[in-house]
Amino acid sequence: MDTVNAHGAEIPALGFGTFRMSEPDVAHILPLALKVGFRHVDTAQAYRNEEAVGSAIRQSGVGRDEIFLTTKVWVDNFAEDEFIPSVEESLKKLQTDHVDLLLLHWPKSDVPLEVQIQCLNRLVEQGKVKHIGVSNYSTALMGQAVELSRAPIVTNQIEYHPYLDQHVVLQAANSYGMAVTAYYVMADGKVPREPLLQDIGARYGKTAAQVALRWALQQPGVTALSKTATESRLAENFAVMDFLLSGEEVAAINALARPDGRIINPAHLAPDWD
């Protein structure tokens, strides 16, 4: 598995995401994903499946030290007296004494960013978190987080797929030495039906979904989360490291971006996007 290095964090380039996945689905599919070879697992307090993720990892036979485990603090837990206890509860559910990466899930909150960052840093100092980052942040907020934090901010996890131009965020992340973690790469089911991606895939014996993942992973500093509850698609999602898209193909995929391409945009949580 290729990795992306950001401030000492060696992040497996391809991750397995559990967004909107029930605990029974996680219990069934995550052990199979680990068997296929996934070693980067992404969950969150808000997904309400941390306990299933922890049990699946524990029972998989794969060593905890082989897995890069990410979770996220939900906005309701950002207050100083709730932040660290919520993460300790996540660790109990995940059946581990640390996570490899802890993210602030969304930026909009009445709790000052400085307080949130201080809590992240405290957890790093306590050894409960190896690396810290943010999610769904604009470039302006990324800069503020970097300025406020003693520990490096290693990634910004954002919606990123062929229909959403995120080059401004990618450039900012690069300037800070940060990675970008792409979620929703399948664009809520649009990617597998995209004729351009199907045509490109046919040249390599790959599916449109595999082409989109390859497109994301070919970009410097980008890791990507794949997600499926379907057993037959696990191997397909994992088999994206054995081909390279041409510059012309990447440019054609980039040209699919459109002004209304964003899918995830909750007004009570989202920032002013770039």
Q: Which residues belong to the active site?
A: 47
- Token digits for 42? 């992404």
* Size (the chain), residues: 274
Residue entry with tokens 């909009």? 108
Number of neighbouring beta carbons within 10 Å of residue 248: 9
User: How far is residue 221's CA from residue 203's CA, in Å, rounded to a whole number?
Assistant: 26
At residue 226's C-alpha, the angle toward residues 221 and 230, to 5°, is 170
**Secondary structure class of 12 (helix, strand, coil):** strand
Chain CA centroid to CA 5, Å: 14
> Residue 117 in contact with residue 134, Cβ under 8 Å?
no
Amino acid at 71: T
**Secondary structure class of 69 (helix, strand, coil):** strand
Residue ranges of alpha helices (H) inside the chain are 23-36, 50-60, 80-94, 113-125, 139-148, 167-175, 195-204, 208-217, 231-238, 247-254
* Radius of gyration of the chain from its Cα atoms, rounded to whole angstroms: 18
